[in-house]
Amino acid sequence: MPISYLRKIVGVELVEVSLTEKIVAAVGGGVAIMLLAWLSLAVMPQAAGAAIVASMGASAVLLYAAPHGPLSQPWPVIGGHGVSAVIGVACAQWIHHPLVAAACAVGLSIGAMHQLRCIHPPGGATAFTAVMGGQTVHGLGFSFVLFPVLANAVVMVLLAVLINSAFHWRRYPAIFSRRPPHVPDGDEPTHEEVIAAIRSIDSFVDISEEDLLRLVDLLSRHGMRPNVPASSITRTTVS
- Residue 31 pLDDT: 92
Q: What band does 236 get if pLDDT is binned at 50, 70 and 90?
A: very low
- Residue 45 pLDDT: 67
Please provide the average confidence, as pLDDT, over all residues in the chain: 82
Residue 117 Ramachandran class (φ > 0 left, ψ -120 to 50 alpha, else beta) = left
Mean pLDDT of 102-129: 97
Of 32-36, 110-114, 122-126, where does mean pLDDT reach its minimum?
A: 32-36
Q: How far apart are CA 151 and CA 81, in angstroms?
A: 10
Angle 122-132/98-115 helices, nearest 10 degrees? 150
Mean pLDDT of 132-159: 92
The residue type of 84 is S
Residue 104 Ramachandran class (φ > 0 left, ψ -120 to 50 alpha, else beta) = alpha
The DSSP symbol for 230 reads G
Question: Which range scores top for mean pLDDT: 52-56, 83-87, 145-149, 165-169?
Answer: 83-87
Q: Count Cβ neighbours within 10 Å for each residue of 90-113 and write b for 16 or more, e otherwise.
A: bbbeebeeeeebbebbbebbbebb
Mean pLDDT of 24-49: 82
Domain residues of the chain, as ranges? Answer: 14-164, 191-238
- Residue 42 pLDDT: 77
More confident residue, 188 or 108: 108
